[in-house]
Amino acid sequence: LVDPRDGSARGEVDAALLLDEAARSAWLSGDPGMVFIDTINRANPTPRLGAIEATNPCGEVPLLPWEACTLGSINVAAFRDEAAGDLDWAALRETVALAVRFLDNVVDASPFPLDEIREAVRGNRKIGLGVMGFADLLIASGVPYDSPEALALAERLMSEIAAAADAASEALGEEKGVFPNWERSTYAGGTRYRNATRTCIAPTGTIAIIAGASSGIEPLYSLAHLRRMGDGTVLPEASAAFEQAARDGGFHSPELFEELAAGGSLQDHLEVPEELRRRFATAHEIGWEQHVRMQAAFQRHTDLAVSKTVNLPHDASVEDVRSALLLAHELGCKGITVYRDGSRTQQVLAHAPADAPGEASNGQCCPECGLPQA
């Protein structure tokens, strides 16, 4: 055990036993989430300013003391070109460049409550551009989330966004100047970026609802469910894409959607074509390993971190949780959150009835990542 104040050794603990304890706790309640601070600091663009010790609440933005970061997300499903059977990559790159300029302007336009925050934020000018609507894009492309093709699309998509964001920040560096701490960063003598970081993947729990898009890089939570809002209001939701597919396929019925909202699975309906059952597989029907590998695919092309929840079915084991934590670290993720369905009394997404059996909570849920707050 290392004292974070002076770096001195204060004791020893059995790492395997500690991991077992963390995995069991996460299995019981969803906490703790893991932050891999070693991986985070290896990617710290300004190590001379200090080590990173913490992240924002959802884990996608590792920050130095006093820092904040301006975030934005692109609805990638909107760039699906049906006629071409592909994304409109040129339009996506153009939008990324515009978004980077916009987010950089926000750094200057934002008021700050303390001088220390203003100095830290404007010294590094960190921005984090990410995505939402990834599940919608896969569905529109006919690609199952739980497939090698989905991982390949994730790699290409985020690599294109990262390259366009880097180019835009470099152009802004030439136009407006590099971030003030550039000389003390890992970029010194190299690429003249306007922003110390350019990309990050946020959960987009709120803005995705406004945009009518699926959240972040998550698969669909379910095809029909109840959403518990921050004030306790419970609203029914259904996948518009699945509703249309059901109508087109001739198997749409109120009874089907009632069954799905009550926790039933489309996989049990053999009258639905297998291709559609695979394409509309939901979060709990996708193995934990694919969840983690998808997060890692996006992380490989992201400056900051990726916020994603590995949603597990209620019957998942403690060993499943432990294995997910280990694989996330092995693949270079900067953190990981797991949530076993029903492990708390109230959760932001649920099947009817809205309150699943499990451990007690105060009923409040994070509006971004959807996890119940302790």
DSSP 48: G
The Cα 244–Cα 280 span in angstroms is 12
CB of 88 within 8 A of CB of 94?
no
Active-site residue, 333 included: no
- Is 56 annotated as catalytic? yes
Residues forming a β-bridge with 312 = 340
The closest alpha carbon to 312, from 348, 275, 351, 286, belongs to 286
Choosing from 12, 21, 53, 58, which is the catalytic residue? 58
Q: Are 125 and 196 in contact (CB under 8 A)?
A: yes
b vs e for 75-90, b when ≥16 Cβ sit within 10 Å of the residue's Cβ?
bbbbbbeeeeeebeee
Catalytic residue among 56, 75, 124, 311: 56
Name the catalytic one among 12, 44, 60, 124. Answer: 60
Query: Which token pair is 211?
Result: 């945009």
d(CA 26, CA 310) in angstroms, rounded, equals 11
Instruction: Name the CA radius of gyration of the chain, rounded.
Output: 21
Q: How far is CA 272 from CA 250, 254, 276, in A?
A: 9, 15, 7
How many Cα atoms within 13 Å fall on the side-chain side of residue 292?
25
Question: Is 366 a residue of the active site?
Answer: no
β-strand partners of 130: 73
Specify whether the CB–CB gap between 229 and 368 falls below 8 A: no
Active site positions, annotated: 56, 58, 60
